Structure 1
Amino acid sequence: MKLAAQRLIAVALAVGLVSCTDDPPPAPKPTGLNAGTGCPEFAGSGRQIEFGGEIDAELGGVVLGAGSTGVVLAHMAGGDVCQWLPYGQQLADRGYRVLAFDFAGSGVSRGHGVPLGRQVEAAAGALRADGASRIVLAGGSMGGAAVLAAAPTLSPAPVAVVALSPPTGYQDADAAAAAPKITVPVLYGAGELETSFAESARQMYAATPSTTQRQLVLVPTSAHGVNLLNPETGSVELRDRVTQFLDSYAPPA
């Protein structure tokens, strides 16, 4: 009897150990950067990503979608990923893989003295590593200058560039110097009532080689940068032209 009782206890202990090891591991706690906390309704539908170590920066962003055509979205001064995420979600719904990221010193991203164009290049590399096989660069205002600055040096080259309300330069991003070197399809867009930016767009369009597939879209609005694509306050015409441009040179795949 004593031996039988000992065996029963041993079996019970073994069962208990098995049941413990079968329990699922605890969910990992969120770590690292968490971009888009100001717009959880949009950021929550994407995946957090961190990159930029190769340029001595810690850059955070949100990836939406899963297509092989990737779109890097670069925000305006004083903003973060939340400026682009509503439009980014619409691109993702159309079949694009989208990365909206925070520039160093904005949102959650960290870094000092890292050129804006280099940050765009790092974002393109991160999106390729995530699964995109070709890249579109798009930016508004400061971000527009940054994507133009990055376009001639990015390797592999982007398949298209969209610059909305781009200044001829912003900090270290010399968009005016980059424009004559751009050989990929590029769309410059601006509101005619934001006078200086409309003129900047005209200047850079004129400086872009005539052999490049270039477009200049000026619309009668004072909306600026990313806001040009806002369905309520922006321009339907410009929004449609950007869609047509992407369909022509960088369709979703």
Structure 2
Amino acid sequence: MALLTMGLTGCGGAVGAGTTAVRTTAAESRAPAGETTPATTPATTPATTPATTPATTPATSAPTSAPPTGPNVSGCFTERDGKIFTHVRGLPGVIAGDGPVGVVISYERRGTVCSWRPLSDRLVAAGYRVLLYARDAGLLPEDGAVAMGKRLAKEKGVERLFLVGGSIGATASVPAAERLGAEVAGVVALSGEIDEGDAAALTVPLLQIGSEHDSYGGAASMRATEAAATKSPDNQVLIIPGESLHASALLGSPHAAKVLDTVVAFMDRHKG
């Protein structure tokens, strides 16, 4: 019997940008070792060879798609997925979906919008309007999240917003929510290490998701934030036991379905 093998290809086609000076906050200085240097160009996922290919079968190259030539974000989102826009220094972003409740996703340092596609697709299917953007290394993550929140709020038909972040993007989303004010319906933080003062000031629902042994935004950090966020009307924590998965890695793990279900249920409960 012939064995069929399938090659998996990662997201490609990064959008380049010039180098700018970087300001560092206390929260950023505590970021995981893999996230300490900002990057405006997402890394390319290395190709892998399926282990199930028999030794007697001639090696073949996995089929690849040509990188998009038109407007796109990191080669992962094109105009077929939503409205492509540009912000500071010509960096790209995308707004997918057309629902009345918007979601701004801010990824982890050295991250890419590609790894957040599972969450974006799920939210669009659930009726949300999702904005993802290539982050500018010259802006504080909090300022970037605020700018994107204001941009999405101006879209026709958008009534409320959620801020979602991974790692430093999660850390920044909490103070960004306070700055944006009443239009924010809630915050979802994946593997964020949130300042207790920021948590204490938060007045909207908060969902924290992370893994037990993560060195940044792990169980101890999430419990401290939970205890500090006394003004949050719904203060929810999901800890994946026995794991050290960080931020968007949760979305590609065996726990992805639970994570996505929890996020959608939280947003559905508070979208108004």
Shared fold by TM > 0.5? yes
Deviations 1:161-215 (A, max 9, x none): 00010023xxxxxx43311110001101111132542222111111101553211
2:203 corresponds to: 183
Question: What is the DSSP-based 3-state SS (H/G/I as helix, E as strand, rest coil) of the residue aligned with 2:85?
Answer: strand
Instruction: Look at both structures and tell me which one has the larger radius of gyration over its CA atoms.
Output: 1
1:200 corresponds to: 221
The aligned amino acid for 1:206 is A
Gaps of 5+ in 1: 1-28, 106-111, 169-174
Distance 1:241 1:34, change over 3 A: closer
Question: What is the DSSP-based 3-state SS (H/G/I as helix, E as strand, rest coil) of the residue aligned with 2:154?
Answer: helix
Does the aligned pair in 1 maintain the 2:119–2:260 contact within 8 Å?
A: no
**Does the alignment pair 1:118 with 2:143?**
yes
1:152 corresponds to: 178
1:85 corresponds to: 117
The aligned amino acid for 2:133 is F
**Does the alignment pair 1:164 with 2:164?**
no
User: Which has more helix, going by share of residues?
Assistant: 1
Distance 1:36 1:208, change over 3 A: same
Gaps of 5+ in 2: 1-68
Q: For residues 87 and 190 of structure 2, what CA distance do their matches in structure 1 show?
A: 25
Measured on the aligned residues, the alpha-carbon RMSD in Å equals 2.3
Deviations 1:136-168 (A, max 9, x none): 000111111121121111134410100010023
Q: For residues 232 and 147 of structure 2, what CA distance do their matches in structure 1 show?
A: 28
Distance 1:236 1:119, change over 3 A: same
Distance 1:177 1:157, change over 3 A: farther
1:36 corresponds to: 74
The one of 79, 82, 90 equivalent to 1:46 is: 82
Does the aligned pair in 2 maintain the 1:190–1:217 contact within 8 Å?
A: yes
Q: For residues 211 and 127 of structure 1, what CA distance do their matches in structure 2 show?
A: 23
Q: For residues 45 and 235 of structure 1, what CA distance do their matches in structure 2 show?
A: 22
Does the aligned pair in 1 maintain the 2:106–2:133 contact within 8 Å?
A: yes
Q: Counterparts in 2 of 1:221-240, with a 5 A limit?
A: 221-230=243-252, 232-240=253-261
Q: For residues 101 and 107 of structure 2, what CA distance do their matches in structure 1 show?
A: 20
- Determine what percentage of the aligned residue pairs are the same residue: 29
Question: What is the DSSP-based 3-state SS (H/G/I as helix, E as strand, rest coil) of the residue aligned with 1:167?
Answer: coil
The aligned amino acid for 1:118 is D
Does the aligned pair in 1 maintain the 2:167–2:216 contact within 8 Å?
A: no
Deviations 1:206-251 (A, max 9, x none): 1101553211111123221122233x44343333222211110127
Question: What is the DSSP-based 3-state SS (H/G/I as helix, E as strand, rest coil) of the residue aligned with 1:154?
Answer: helix
Question: What is the DSSP-based 3-state SS (H/G/I as helix, E as strand, rest coil) of the residue aligned with 2:181?
Answer: coil
Q: For residues 74 and 44 of structure 1, what CA distance do their matches in structure 2 show?
A: 21
